[in-house]
Amino acid sequence: MRVLVGWDDAIEAETIGLILNVDDTVVEISTEGEDFEEKLTSAGWDIVLFATNFPNEDESLRLFLKIQETHDNIPIVGAWRQGDFSHLAKLISHGLHSHLMRDTEGDFIFLLPSMIEAAQTAVLAQRSRILAERLREEVDSVRRLQESVIPRDLPAPEGYEIVARYEPSQIRVMGSNPVIMAGGDYYDAFNLDGNKLILLVGDASGHGVKACMSIMTMHTLIRMIRDRRYPNTVDFVSEVNRRLCSSDIVQDEGGFITLLYSTLDLENHRLSWTAAGAPMPVLQDLDTNEVKVMGGEDEGGLPLAIEEEWVYEEVEMEIPRNSRLLIFTDGLDEAFPADEEDAEQFGIEGIIKSMQASREMPLADALQKLFDDSNAATRGSGRHDDTSVVLLERHKEG
């Protein structure tokens, strides 16, 4: 640490040098104002210590302001003579935060190492708070960009009801309140050809700007080609995969995207889907309260943007009357208490249990319970992966 000292008493200055010049601390002391100002122009000072009447009472305020102007990001410690309250108050009003009183016996000198250390610690803490706030602002701007692609109104065909929700992950900065992270999840639902309903969830690897831009790239691509007449979900997902394999944004640093893309035929109530590394859909029979995972692990497919010629599969099933369909990203089932070793995830078992417990609830309340139960599985540590969920119900009369 490099300390610049401006002092009005040569004898005290010598003692200060002996006290402070220890270990890795290097001290430069000036007892003349002109010499101090010349040294002040040099870079690399970590802290400035000065007598509040240095070089004299008339010039000390000007000198203090020059220190602030020249080194606005380092701590300044002022030492004031007992009884000189008015002059000290003037410096405080101009931004002096750290100061100590010079007693007549000179014992204050022995307090200087602790005072300097405390002042530097306070400045570092302030810098951390500023950086944390800037992080919050940056993350929030990226998060708003990512959330702009998430639909607010979902098309509910006759005989059906749809609810969906996106919940971002959280981190803690310097023990402060959680920062809501920008992520790479999203969901979408839209009508196609008047008799088909498209439901999808996507999840880009990682967090922050990279994941956000990856998922927006896929969202834009899907919106560009969604009206083309692809014969099945496999062909659509394969086309998305081929195009993303040439995307530098997605593939940077080994990035990839998981996707579940499904088409619900509203005439025969059959759902066709293709999964690219995404969790399988879950179907709940509200008459029997049986909840089961649809499809097998071998039908999951490789995430997008990894292998251009990967051959995906299509799975088909009927959505019976009085049933609910859940599609989701892995943030839902992979919730766990981060601070506990060998802790279990919420898991598919937790999803099934939650859905069975919400059988009699309205659809929106059932969705809320899913998130509440998944969050409860973290035991207060917060969700560490963003999550997208789409919950579809076919009514008894549908």
Q: What are phi and psi of 168, to 5 degrees?
A: -75, 165
The pLDDT, as a whole number, for residue 287 is: 96
3-state secondary structure of 318: strand
Please enumerate, as own/partner, the contacts of 91-97 that have beta carbons within 8 Å and a separation of 24 or more.
91/52, 91/60, 91/61, 91/64, 94/61, 94/64, 94/65, 94/68, 95/68, 96/64, 97/122
Q: Which pLDDT belongs to residue 126?
A: 78
Give dist(CA 161, CA 363) in Å, integer: 8
Q: Can you list the domains of the chain with their CATH numbers?
A: 2-127 (3.40.50.2300), 148-394 (3.60.40.10)
What pLDDT is recorded for position 15?
A: 93
What's the confidence (pLDDT) of residue 174?
45
pLDDT in tens, the chain (398 residues): 899 999 999 999 999 999 998 888 899 999 999 999 999 988 789 899 999 999 998 899 999 999 999 887 889 999 998 888 888 898 999 989 889 999 888 889 999 988 888 888 887 787 777 777 776 776 676 667 767 778 888 888 999 999 999 988 765 544 555 556 667 899 999 998 889 999 999 999 887 778 888 888 999 999 999 888 888 999 999 999 999 999 988 988 789 999 999 999 999 999 999 999 999 999 999 999 999 999 876 778 999 999 999 999 999 999 999 999 999 999 999 988 877 777 789 999 999 999 999 999 999 999 999 999 999 998 877 777 889 999 999 998 86
Q: Which tokens in the block code for residue 38?
A: 């010349």
- Cα 394 to Cα 392: distance, rounded to the nearest angstrom: 7
Given this model, what pLDDT does residue 170 score?
65
Q: What is the pTM of this model?
A: 0.67
Residues 6+ apart with CB under 8 A from 162: 154, 155, 156, 189, 199, 390, 391, 392, 393
pLDDT for 303 equals 96
What are φ and ψ of residue 281, in 5° steps? -65, 160
Nearest to 307 by CA among 361, 363, 253, 238: 238
Task: Count the helix, strand and coil residues of the chain and give each as a percent rounded to the nearest 5.
Answer: 35, 25, 35
Query: What's residue 210's pLDDT?
Result: 82
Query: In 3-state terms, what secondary structure has residue 150?
Result: coil
